[in-house]
Structures are given as C-alpha cells and as structure tokens.
A and B are shown apart, each in its own frame.
Chain A
Amino acid sequence: MERGHLLEKIEERFRARMARDAAFGLHRAEPHLSARYVITLGQCIVFAAIALTAAFAFSLAGPTMSVLTVTILALAFLANVIFRAALVWVGADLGSEAPVAANESLPRYTIIVAMYREANMVAELVKALRAIDYPVRLLDIHLVLEADDDETLLAVAALKLSAPFEVVRVPRGAPRTKPRACNYALNFARGEFVVIYDAEDRPEPDQLRKAVAQFRASAPDVACFQARLNFYNARRNWLTAIFSLDYGLWFDFLLPGLDKLGVPMPLGGTSNHLRTSVLREIDGWDPFNVTEDADLGIRLAEKGYRVSILNSTTFEEASHTLPNWTRQRSRWLKGYMQTWLVHMRNPARLIRNVGWRGFLAFQLFVGGTVISALVNPLLWAVFLASQLGLISISNAEGQAAIAAISLFTLILGNAFFTYLIMLGCYRRGWLDLVPSGLGAFVYWGLISFAGYRGLIQLFTRPFHWEKTIHGFGDEGSMQ
C-alpha cells in the first residue's frame, strides 16, 4: 500500500481522536501549563487583593499613593527598556558563522506549514520550499490545511504536488488556531527534526543543513533553534521599514542576548527548528495560546531544555497596512499576556524550574513587553493631565513630582526605545532604514493601541486568532 493511502486510512480511523488530542492533549496532561483558562481563581484573588489594598491606601494617603503609583509604573517601564539595552549589548557579539552539515550526516527533516485561507500564497510557498538545499528523499513536508478551507485546498490540488509534499486536512473544531493545526500535523511527522514555517516564508536555502549541524554540535538538552527573521519587503513604506527595524532588534540582538545569558527565550512565530521527540514529549504546542511559539520557548525552559539562535534568516512579508499590522500585534501582545499568566500561576514552580535569573528575565522580557506597551500611554496621559491641571492633589510637591517622574521616564524611555530600534538594522547593514526609526515614538503609540486591544480581547475573545493577511506582493524583489 502506498504511503499516501496508508495515511488516509490512518487518518480516517483516528481522525476524531487525533483532533481531540490536538486540541486538548496538553490540557489533559498538564492543565497548569495550558492557556485554556485565561486566569485562575488564585490569580483573581491576588489581583483583587492588590486592587483593594491600593484603593485602601489611596483613601488614606492619596497624594503619596499617587506619587508611588507613578513611580512604580515608571520603574517598571524603565526596567524593561534598560534590560533590552543590556540584551542588545550582550547579543551584539557576532559569534561564528554557522556550519553547514554535509550530505552523509543528514537525517529526515519534517517541515510543517499551517495555512488558512491563503490560496494566493501556495505557489510562492512551494517555490520557496523547493529552493531549500536538502535531499528531497529526506524531506517530509506537510501542508496543513483546515478541512473546510476549500479555496486553499483547491489551490494546492491544482499544483498536483508529489513527494515530499503531503497535504494534512485538519478536521473542524475549536479552537481554530495554528497550534491546533500543527499539533494535528505532528502525528504525521517522520523527521528527527521538525521546523515550522508560515505560508509567506522564504528561508535561506541552507537553513536546514545549518540547523542539523548546530543540533549535532550541541548538547542533547538544546531542544530548539530559532532562526533569525526579517522581511523581504522592508522598504515598501514607513510601517514595513520600522517593523523591519523592530524585527532586527528582536531577532538579531534581543533573542541572541537571552541565548547568551542562558535564560528562557520566547520563540518567534516561525522557523523554530525542534527535536521531534522533545516536541512530542512535551505535548506539542498549546492550542489555546495565540502566541504558542513564545509559550513553547518558556515551556521548554521549564522542562529543562534550552533554546538557541540559528545564524540563518527566514524572510517574511511585513504587514504594510495599519489594520493588518494592528491585528497581528494585538494577537502577539494578547499571547504574551496569556503566556505570562500561564507561567505565573505558580511563581515558586517557575523559579524552581528556570532559576532566579530565568525568572527575572521572564518578568522583564515577557511581562515587560506587555507592561511597556500598556504603561507608555498612561505616562503620557499623567504628564499631560498634570500640565493641564486635570490632576489635582492637595500636595503641591507631590503634583510636581508626578510631572517630573512621568516626563523624565517618557524622555528617557522613548529615547532608549528609538535608539535601540534604530540599531536593529546594524547587523544586516540596512542603514538606509535608520531614519525610519526616528518615528519610533509613533510606532510605540501604535504598539500601545494594539496592546489595549489585545487586553480587551484577552477577556472577550481569548482564543480568537486574528488572521494576518499576506500576499500583497513585494514588487518581485528580495531586498
């Protein structure tokens, strides 16, 4: 019997069970690590206690509490920015060029690409995957499509793909998220390693060989390599340019910085190269987390595994319109909130698993990303309100202190953020993008808007996967 037919038979027989496991496997095995429930009762009690204590303190000593609150917000805001600056310094070390594995040492490699309503991307995707420099007989490529996504299914069928391409149809079910689709596809993965790509990805052709060489050279506890990401349409408009700077900062400096420090690293959305056995051992991705990649990085650290950076780039398509960008960023920030809430259900366990350094880095990086997005407009509001006389507290010195603290934090925070984001292009030498970074304070405003949108969605539609639309074209050039 051919492999294709065999797979069909297996799928027919076990479809319902595999779909159930894809959605609820992690929650069944380790409910405390699943984002199925946004917030636990214990967390509700802690948050309520903090709110009540603050309200009580405000009623007793309003002016002092006002200054204290602004100071705490400012410190949280600056801590994140300063930690990022430190990461840039640590991560700036270029390191050595990644070696490329020779043919004789290559294992079978699984590529999973989950797609939904992306018929327009199929041809380009197949072209990019065919450009990968890896023996075809050792590739195991799964195009993972939702069973009711007729449009994309038809587009794939029209290409009449043969091995190593296989189409996996994910049965309808909730939550309809990428991690659920990936979990389902993981059942069919045959490779020693597995990598996740998005439909619009263009990995560098030798990326799989580099990943194999890195896995072979590293200790068994290195479970994942995150390739660097950037955009092939960075120069399309201001938004794509600054988004590219942002990505450059994230993948060329911040994540390598976390790698060097040996602390938990939230993975980026694509090009995560994993040991298949480890991925199965930890029950795959969390289908209820809308940044399942970030969560996976932290979960791996909690399980004693390490994540490292692969010196190879996957080029993606940057959202070039504001609504599309906002949807994507809202989802990311909502996912970071989910990730923080999940791993902070039991802080003592987190400290035990990742150590004090890892715990602190998690607070500053994952928590700090959310805090800086949410606090930035608050500080602007406090400063403007204090200048317009809208904040009236009996203590004049307190009022001046609030204005001074918020202004100082805003100048320093925005200056640091602008500088760091402009540095994002340096490793690639894309210095023509630097002037776009001067508008970083506007970009931060957009991030804050997306942050509040994500916060609202966290309670109204926690598992809703806001689809980023791709396939606008890149004027045909890899920049």
Chain B
Amino acid sequence: MSAMVMFAVTLLVFAAVIYRRLRQAGFAIATASAVTLLTSAQAGIFCSVGGLWLALGVCAIVLAAAEFSTRDNVRSLIALGGSLSAIQLVNPAGGAVAALLLPVAMSRTGAMLGYGRLILLLFAPAVTAVLLASLYWFFHFNSAEIVSSFAQPAVSWQSAALVPVPRYFTLFFFLPAVAAFAPLIWREDRPTALKAVFAVMIAIVIAEFAVSFMATRSVALDIAFAAPTTAVAISCWPLRWRKAVPVLAVSGVSLAASWLLLFLG
C-alpha cells in the first residue's frame, strides 16, 4: 500500500471516530461534520502517517478516559489500559511515561479511586513496556523505528514537519487544546469526563517534555497530540456550551494555531 493510500485510510478512520463521538455527544450533523473537518485538517494530523497514528492512539486514550470516568465498568477499564499499551508501540518511552502519570493526574481530578483500579489500569501498559523492552533486548526489535519508517512525508510539503524541534517547543504544541478546557475554569459543576480528558493531556504533556530530554523529536510526532484532545474535550462540554459558534471558534483557533506553530517550529 502506498504511503498516500495508507494516509488517506487512516485519516478516514480518525475522522469517523471523531465524528461518531461528536454525534453521540448530541451535536448536530452540520456542527459535528465541521468540527471533524477542522480537527482532521490540523497540522499534526496532516504531517505524516506516523503522526496520524499517534493522534489515533491519543484519541483512543482520551475517549477511554472519558468513558472510564463516567461509567466505571470493565470494558472502559480494559479500553483505557489497552490504549495506554497500544500507544507504546508508536511512542515507547512517551507512552510508558504517560501511562505511569495518568493515574496520578486522574486522581488529582477525582476520576480515579483506589489501588485496585490503579493496579488494573497499569497492569497492561506495564506488561507492554516489559514486553517491548524484552523484544528490544533479545531481538533488537524496535516498534517505534518501524512506525517512524512510515512517518515519511506522503506528499512533498509534509517534509517541513520532520524538522527536529527544541525541547521547550513541545509545550507549545498543547496550546491549541487549552481553549477546549475552558469549562473547567468557568463552571463550578465541571464535567467529570472533561476532567479525565484534561488529566490525559497533562500526563501526555509531562511525558512528552520528559522524553524530549532523552531524544530529538520531530514536529511530526509531537504536534499530533492536540487535535484529538481538542475534539474529544469539546464533546465533553456541558450541554449549555454545545452550541455551534463557541465549538467552531475553538476548533478554528486550534486549527490555525497548529499550522502557525508548525511553521514557527
């Protein structure tokens, strides 16, 4: 399969997941479609197949975290643990650190209770980390290398995204998502699902910043986090906020900021 086809297929899957989530959250077809388009057009998503996979992985984590915080059941627990495991295939070090940080971040937001759940949540990511480390140790197998081999530009203009960035710049990539968490500041009855998505973002920011000290990272893999986080955060907004104007405004600002940051980077 050519890089372009793989890119198109993955982008379609990503867009479908985002659209479904927004529709489930009660958004009108027009609004959901517009937000999906604005999200799918973000710089991080358009950079490379590798970046897109990472966005898909982050999308799975935030969706599972939102579900887990509102419906405490086995499926959402497995989904969250599983997505934290899967992200390590794309980004081993960052994924492992984020998995470790997530329960702490979720506890701070009140979305995580008790050591039993903590063990259950961390077990799958911990085993994945051990398995990946063993595979690397015994067989020199590195899943991230395989992913980065896919993270080549599908079209010529994408090559700009593969430029290494200074480590402090990682933090800026999360700025576009910040507006999506406005209800956490402005409302007293903060939605639990939104708190959980926020916890995921905090964990990823810290993990990415920590990992950027260990290895040079390209914009392609760093910038992809913001898009799914923004879209899922919007889907967790309180009902009164779910109107076309603020939703499209946040999505539009996020889109513009992502491209601006890409070229500044």
Instruction: List A residues at the B interface (Cβ < 8 Å).
Output: 88-89, 92-94, 253, 404, 411-412, 415, 418-419, 422-423, 425-427, 431-435, 438
For B127, the chain A residues whose CB sits under 8 A away are 411, 415, 419
Q: Does B24 contact A (CB under 8 A)?
A: no
Residues in chain B near residue A422, CB distance under 8 A:
119-120, 123
Contacts of A433 in B (CB 8 A): 116
- In the complex, whether B223 has a CB less than 8 A from a CB of chain A is no
Q: Is B78 engaged at the interface, CB distance under 8 Å to the other chain?
A: yes
Q: Is the CB of B119 within 8 A of A426?
A: no
Q: Contacts of A253 on B, CB cut-off 8 Å? A: 74
Most chain A C-beta atoms within 10 Å of own C-beta, residue among B74, B77, B119: B74
Interface size on B, residues (CB 8 A): 19
In Å, the complex CA distance between A419 and B127 comes to 10
A411: B residues at CB distance < 8 A: 127, 130-131, 134
The answer to whether A89 touches B75, judged by C-beta atoms less than 8 angstroms apart, is yes
Contact of B74 with A88 in the complex, beta carbons under 8 Å: yes
Report the Cα distance A353→B131, complex, angstroms: 42
The minimal Cβ–Cβ distance linking A364 to chain B, given in whole angstroms, is 20
Where the two chains meet, the residues of B that have a C-beta atom closer than 8 Å to any C-beta of A are 73-75, 77-78, 114-117, 119-120, 123-124, 127, 130-131, 134, 138-139
Separation in Å of the A401 CB from the closest CB of chain B? 12
Q: Please tell me if the beta carbons of A92 and B119 are within 8 angstroms of each other in the complex.
A: no
Given contacts A411-B131, A419-B124, contact A94 B73 (CB under 8 A): yes
Cβ of B73: which chain A residues have Cβ within 8 Å of it?
92, 94, 426
Report the minimum CB–CB distance from B69 to chain A (whole Å): 16
Q: Is the CB–CB distance between B116 and A432 below 8 Å?
A: yes
The residue of chain A having its C-beta at the shortest distance from the C-beta of B123 within the complex is A419
Q: A422-B119, A422-B120 are in contact. Are A92 and B75 (CB under 8 A)?
A: yes
Contacts of B120 in A (CB 8 A): 419, 422-423, 426, 431, 434
**B10: min CB distance to chain A, Å:** 24
Rounded to whole angstroms, the CA-CA distance of A419 and B119 in the bound complex is 10
Assess the A412–B74 pair: CB atoms within 8 A: no
The 3 closest A-B pairs by CB, nearest first: A431-B116, A434-B116, A92-B74
Tell me what chain A mostly uses at the interface: helix, strand, loop, or mixed.
helix
Q: Which residues of B contact A419 (CB under 8 A)?
A: 120, 123-124, 127
Complex-state Cα separation, A322 to B134, whole angstroms: 34
Shortest distance from the beta carbon of B157 to any chain A beta carbon, whole Å? 42
Contact B74 A423 (CB under 8 A): yes
The interface residues of chain B lying within 8 Å CB-to-CB of A434 are 115-116, 119-120
A412 & B131 in contact (Cβ 8 Å cutoff): yes
Smallest Cβ-Cβ distance to A424: which chain B residue: B74
What CA separation (Å) do A411 and B124 show in the bound complex? Answer: 12
Tell me whether B119 and A435 are in contact (CB under 8 A): yes
Find chain B residues with CB under 8 A from A432 CB: 116
Name the A residues within 8 Å of B134 (CB-CB).
411
Q: B111 to nearest A CB, angstroms?
A: 16
Chain A positions within 8 Å of B117 at CB level: 431
| B74:A427 contact, CB within 8 angstroms | yes
Residues of A within 8 A of B115 (CB): 431, 434-435
A439 to chain B, nearest CB (A): 12
Nearest A-chain residue to B79, judged by Cβ = A89
Are A426 and B74 also in contact (CB < 8 A) when A411-B131, A434-B119, A434-B120 are?
Answer: yes
> Which residues of the other chain, A, contact B75 by a CB distance below 8 angstroms?
89, 92-93
- Provide the bound-state CA to CA distance between A88 and B78, in Å: 10
Apart from A419-B120, A432-B116: 8 A-B pairs, beta carbons within 8 A: A92-B73, A92-B78, A411-B130, A422-B123, A423-B74, A431-B120, A434-B120, A435-B119
- Give Cα distance in the complex from A203 to B13, angstroms: 48
User: Are A431 and B78 neighbours in the complex by a CB distance under 8 Å?
Assistant: no
The smallest C-beta distance from A431 to any residue of chain B, in angstroms, reads 3
Give complex CA distance A228, B116 in Å.
Answer: 22
**Which residues in B have their C-beta under 8 angstroms from that of A92?**
73-75, 78
Residues of B within 8 A of A423 (CB): 74, 77-78, 120
